[in-house]
Structure 1
Amino acid sequence: MRLRRSVIALMAVLGLALVSACNSGDDGGNEAGDGLQKVSYLTSFNTFGREAYAYVALEKGYFKDAGFDVKITPGSGTVDVMKLVAGGQADYGIGDFTATAITLANQKLPVTTVGMIHQRSMAAIMSLEGLGITKPEDLPGKTIGDQPGSTNTVMFPVYAKAVGIDPKTVTFLPSPPPGLPALLASGKVQGIGQFVVGQPLIEKADSKHRKAVTLPYGDKLPDLYGNAIITRTDLAKDHPDQVKKFTTALLKGLQDTYDDPAAAAETLKKYVPDTDVAVATKELQIMRNYIKPQGFTGPLGDVTQERVQKVISLLQESNAIKTPLKPEDVVTLSLAPKS
């Protein structure tokens, strides 16, 4: 009996090993039944209009043409995306580059960035007319609602130094992201952490129909990148061709989104039925200026060592990071898009 059990156990182990071997491709992932490689992808945050480009790449078959069967899952902010990618729960994700650099300076997660979605940071403080904020100098003494650990909160000390105010004079009230528009509209806070593309959503949530007041970090810190494409360091090192193919397919979706924001918003609604197409379209129209800012001449997704070093130096000067950090610690330049 004992021998029979041992044989059965051995057969089970061999069976699992065989299944694993059949599922493991040379490019570091599992294959779907149609021969496509299964890949998991996390949006930066939820499924707002700003995330439409991934769904465009999915809808238009760019991922499939590159050999991937992609599952898109809503992300919950840069730090969480980094941790999920580092832990193997996702292969790729989107996160703010500055927040990524700050996080990697404080904890060594096995992730790297391989291209930029935005050539300029979209982080901002947003308010409404009549709440006492019209310019950066109005921020001291005010209360800002935001999710702890969000890009806007993490980057605020850097922005505060750039505009000449003491970050300690501004209070950040921990608040769940879905409730931020209503919290601002109620006047319980004078501002919220928000990406600039959140303007149409904020204005729609205000029953008094006030105009949004936006203080973009990128206006004072133009060297800061916005969202970046994140993957695990082992994928970047061991399977560079896969990473390049995935990035190329995703950026095709981004280019189409740039070219036709309204069509991209309609595509998003197909996959996320509760999408407000008008709001999503306005978000994407605003985002165009961050994908390709005025004067930008590089390839879509461009990232350079010189600029990454500028970002690191800026963060060090602002005491946002206090440990040594090199460009290669945060980005794999060999996999970044080339002209």
Structure 2
Amino acid sequence: MTDLLPLRFILNTFYSGPQAWFFLAADNGHFAAEGLEVTFTEGTSLARAVDTMTTGDYDAGYGDLNELVRMVAEGRADTPVAVMAIHNRPPYTIAVDAAGPIRSPADLQGKHLISHPQDAAMLLFPEFCRATGLDPESVKITISDAPHTEMVPQMLAGEWDGIFGFVNTVAAQALEAGVDAPKALRHITWIDHAPAFGGGALMVTRAFRDRHPEAVAGLCRAVTAGLKDCVADIDAAIEAVARRNPALDRAANRARLAGTLALEMGDAAAQGGLGDIDDARLAEIARLIVAAKGYARTPAPEEIFDRRFLPPVADRARMPANGAPT
């Protein structure tokens, strides 16, 4: 067999359900079939993964598309480039007590929220406020490293008014904490109030893209195959995660994975398959970020996303016609 090309890959967080397609791609031989030997490293957040890719220690990663846009707009010359949109819709939320008074972004005025240090939803809060008319200065935000399994019960006990995070991550970790998330939590989501934004995307460094364009195309094909495998057998997908994280709460992470496939990935798959994001939307994300952050230049879509490596539309992953697998 031809020697495999090593590829160092930074994940968004610890090994968990909503990354399962990457591990199925490895375990089912899709990376090897493309001539790749992928080594995964656990990350600390979807947003931070983008900056981590600038260190030179990684060739590819799973990062937040919006943070990539922000870094390019800021004028960074070392940013990676997105080559495949995994999420078609933003996963971000502010989770609040379903029995409480917060029902819309306007109700967040004067409230106290909590967030992890590099949570992508929190980092996009100025843009969320700009899109919804909320004054960000009217909201107090506390930064904490505590897990959502602690934050959710404390929020429900009145310690703060809302939690930044991903819809399915907060819900699943509420489940781990013994909370009935569908009944206990209400979500003020970016999907409902700032839908232009993207979510998780497959990224590569510009140097790796320029040196190994065929490997980048192979990476996109292999991840697409892993996504198809994930849709076909969600239980096998969770077992692929558990092989890397034996302490995994299978039920909670299965719920996270199923929710991610349905919420952030379901609509695109029902139409044209996962992977692409149109230039008009990329331009709108850039416009919103530049306006909120006060940057001098708005990056062009081609500075952010390179779709040349995507599989043909007919070969892309899709969800079942009746929604994500359960």
Place the TM-score, normalised by the shorter chain, in its bin. 0.7 to 0.9
Residues 1:48 and 2:16 aligned together: yes
Q: Deviations over 1:224-259 (max 9, x none)?
A: 221111111111123211111012101211222233
Contact kept in structure 2, 1:128 and 1:185, CA below 8 Å: no
Among the aligned pairs, what percent are the same residue?
22
1:79: how far off? 4.3
Q: Distance in 2 between matches of 1:195 and 1:184?
A: 13
1:34: how far off? 7.3
Contact kept in structure 1, 2:119 and 2:165, CA below 8 Å: no
Contact kept in structure 1, 2:95 and 2:164, CA below 8 Å: yes
Residues 1:298 and 2:272 aligned together: yes
1:208: how far off? 5.8
What does residue range 232-311 of structure 1 map to in structure 2 within 5 Å? 232-289=205-262, 290-293=264-267, 296-311=270-285
**Which amino acid is the alignment partner of residue 267 of structure 2?**
P
Q: Distance in 1 between matches of 2:192 and 2:270?
A: 15
Q: Deviations over 1:270-297 (max 9, x none)?
A: 2211111111111111112311316852
**Which amino acid is the alignment partner of residue 279 of structure 2?**
Q
Change (3 A) 1:320 1:248: farther
**Which amino acid is the alignment partner of residue 155 of structure 1?**
L
1:156: how far off? 1.0
Residues 58-67 or 217-226, more deviating: 217-226
1:159: how far off? 1.4
What does residue range 95-174 of structure 1 map to in structure 2 within 5 Å? 95-106=63-74, 107-174=76-143
Residue 44 of structure 1 aligns to a residue whose secondary structure is coil
1:50: how far off? 0.9
Change (3 A) 1:320 1:145: farther
Contact kept in structure 1, 2:72 and 2:79, CA below 8 Å: no
Change (3 A) 1:261 1:322: farther
Change (3 A) 1:284 1:171: same
Contact kept in structure 2, 1:160 and 1:166, CA below 8 Å: yes
Q: Deviations over 1:74-99 (max 9, x none)?
A: 11124432233222211111111112
2:154 counterpart residue number: 186
Q: Distance in 1 between matches of 2:294 and 2:148?
A: 25
Which of 201, 208, 218 is the aligned partner of 2:172?
201
1:128: how far off? 3.2
Change (3 A) 1:156 1:320: farther
TM (norm. structure 2) is: 0.86
Residues 56-65 or 289-298, more deviating: 289-298
Change (3 A) 1:330 1:303: same
Structure 2: stretches of 5+ with no match in the other structure: 314-326
2:318 counterpart residue number: none
Contact kept in structure 1, 2:172 and 2:255, CA below 8 Å: no
Change (3 A) 1:127 1:262: farther
**Which amino acid is the alignment partner of residue 195 of structure 1?**
F
Q: Distance in 2 between matches of 1:238 and 1:295?
A: 31
Q: Distance in 1 between matches of 2:3 and 2:151?
A: 48
Q: Distance in 1 between matches of 2:23 and 2:308?
A: 26
What does residue range 7-46 of structure 1 map to in structure 2 within 5 Å? 35-46=3-14
Residue 165 of structure 2 aligns to a residue whose secondary structure is strand
Change (3 A) 1:207 1:304: closer
**Which amino acid is the alignment partner of residue 111 of structure 2?**
K
Q: Distance in 1 between matches of 2:179 and 2:166?
A: 22
Q: Distance in 2 between matches of 1:252 and 1:103?
A: 30
Q: Distance in 2 between matches of 1:110 and 1:173?
A: 29
1:212: how far off? 2.0
Contact kept in structure 2, 1:111 and 1:232, CA below 8 Å: yes
Q: Distance in 1 between matches of 2:195 and 2:289?
A: 13
Residues 90-99 or 147-156, more deviating: 147-156
Residue 301 of structure 1 aligns to a residue whose secondary structure is coil
Residues 1:85 and 2:49 aligned together: no
1:164: how far off? 2.3
Contact kept in structure 1, 2:73 and 2:297, CA below 8 Å: yes
Q: Distance in 1 between matches of 2:154 and 2:194?
A: 30
Contact kept in structure 1, 2:117 and 2:144, CA below 8 Å: yes
Structure 1: stretches of 5+ with no match in the other structure: 1-32
1:191: how far off? 1.4
2:322 counterpart residue number: none
Change (3 A) 1:185 1:111: same
1:135: how far off? 2.9
Q: Distance in 2 between matches of 1:152 and 1:115?
A: 21
